[in-house]
Amino acid sequence: SQTIHQWPATLVQPVGSPLSLECTVEGTSNPNLYWYRQAAGRGLQLLFYSIGIDQISSEVPQNLSASRPQDRQFILSSKKLLLSDSGFYLCAWSVSRGQGIGNYGYTFGSGTRLTVV
């Protein structure tokens, strides 16, 4: 069965410090991978999505970047955190359209609560 791991669960970082959130998927190959941010009382906002290694699309210009060094690994980074980067970050995966059933399955990680102080 497929599983998704996201860590850390919580993080408190000072303004100006770097950030690295990691997400890995097991039990599947060539997944689509996503990073979302969720603000209180708001819907999830798509930050980045990736359909393959080194194929990453950014949805919102911001202080963050994403990388996919391996097929099932997705990393969210920042060189210098801002206060506005605080939030709840979710990684997710889905089967790729190339596997014939489109964006049907969509599974989220457990989330990272980031507080920038």
Partner 1 sequence: KNQVEQSPQSLIILEGKNCTLQCNYTVSPFSNLRWYKQDTGRGPVSLTIMTFSENTKSNGRYTATLDADTKQSSLHITASQLSDSASYICVVSPSNDYKLSFGAGTTVTVRA
Residues that bind partner 1 (CB under 8 A): 6, 32, 41-44, 46, 49, 51, 59, 88, 90, 92, 94, 97, 102-104, 106-111, 113
Nearer to partner 1, 16 or 27 (CB): 27
Are residues 92 and 34 in contact, defined by beta-carbon separation less than 8 angstroms?
Answer: yes
Nearer to partner 1, 37 or 72 (CB): 37
Nearer to partner 1, 16 or 43 (CB): 43
Min dist. Cβ of residue 58 to partner 1 (A) = 12
Q: Which helix (H) or strand (E) holds 105?
A: none
Provide the CB-side half-sphere exposure for 103 (13 A, CA): 8
Min dist. Cβ of residue 9 to partner 1 (A) = 8
DSSP β-ladder status, 44-52 and 55-58: antiparallel
Residue among 21, 22, 4 nearest 92 (CA): 4
